[in-house]
Every structure is written in C-alpha cells, then in structure tokens.
Amino acid sequence: MSEIHFCLLLAALLFAIGVFGLLTRRNAIGILLSVELMANAVNINLVAFSRVHGGATGQVFALFAIALTVAEVAVGLALVILLARTRKSIDVTQARDMHG
C-alpha cells in the first residue's frame, strides 16, 4: 500500500464523515461544517494526484477550490444569520414551509 492509497483512504473517510454529518445534523452551522469536510476531502485528492503525476495543476486547482469554498461559506453563514433572525432558531428541521 503506497502513500497515495493512504491519501485516498483519508479523503474517502473525510467525505463519508461529511455526508454523514450533512444527513444527520439539524444545526445549520453543523451542516456548513459537514459541507466543508466534503470539500476538503476533494482538495486532498487533488493534491495527492498532483504529487503522483508530478505537476502543479492539481495544487493550483486546490487553491482555487479553497478560495471558492470560503466564498461559499460566506454565503452559507449569511443564510444562517437570516434563518436565525426570522425564526429565532437555526434548526433546519424547523424550516419546512415547503412540505407537501
């Protein structure tokens, strides 16, 4: 088992934890954290493959992805603040006005 396998295993583990958090968390901030975990799992993959192939493209791509994730978190936090203001709660299961 070479080092790339460890990297992939770590990334898969992180991604799975992220998905688990996304599905089980009721707290909006917890959901945002889970999404971050999933995004960073992908970044680990990018960097790992970049090392194996010996080019800088993957690492550059990972940097862009991190910048984009920050922007995404900014939007996500703004949504959380709005949710807190309008409902006095950031429990996502409370916000289900669209149910059928």
Partner 1 sequence: MAEAPPPMNLQQLALAIPLLPLAAAALIGLVRPIGRRGGLAAVISIAAAAASLGCALALLSRTAEHFVLRVPWLPVGGRTLAEVGLRFDGISAPMLVVVGTVALMVQIYSVGYLSDEGAGPRGRYFTWQSLFLFAMQGFVLSPNLLQLFCFYELIGLCSYLLIGYYWERTSAGRAATKAFWITKLGDIGFLVGLLVAWTQYKSFDLETIQHALERGPLQSGAWILPALLFCGVASKSAQFPLHVWLPDAMEGPTPVSALLHAATMVAAGVYLLVSTSFLLAGAPEVSTVIMYVGAFTAVFAAIQGAVQHDIKRVLAYSTCSQLGLMVAAIGAGSVMAGYFHLVTHAFFKALLFLAAGSAIHAVHTNDLRQMGGLGRGMRWTGLFFGVGMLALAGIPPLSGFFSKELILGALEEHPVALALGLATTLMTPYYMGRAFLLAFTGKPRSQSAEHPHESGWLMRGPMLVLCLLAIVSGGFLWSFGRTIHEEAELHVSPVGFFGVGLALLGLGLAWMLHGPRKATIDALPKAVLEAARSSLVDNLYVFGWKHVLYVVAVVTAFFDRYIVDGLMNLLGWAGDKAGGALRRVQTGLAPDYVLALFLGLLALVAWGVWGGS
Looking at the Cβ atoms of 77 and 95, the one nearer to partner 1 is: 95
Give the binding range for partner 1 (CB under 8 A) out of 5-13, 17-25, 45-53, 59-67: 17-25
Our finding on whether 8 is near partner 1 (CB under 8 A) is no
By CB under 8 A, name the one of 56, 85, 88, 96 that touches partner 1: 96
- CB of 90 within 8 A of CB of 83? yes
Tokens for 59, please give them: 């690492």
Looking at the Cβ atoms of 1 and 98, the one nearer to partner 1 is: 98
Looking at the Cβ atoms of 2 and 93, the one nearer to partner 1 is: 93
- CB of 58 within 8 A of CB of 50? yes
Q: Give the separation between CA 15 and CA 22, rounded to whole angstroms.
A: 10
- CB of 27 within 8 A of CB of 54? no
Footprint on this chain of partner 1 (rule: CB under 8 A)? 19, 22-26, 31, 92-93, 95-100
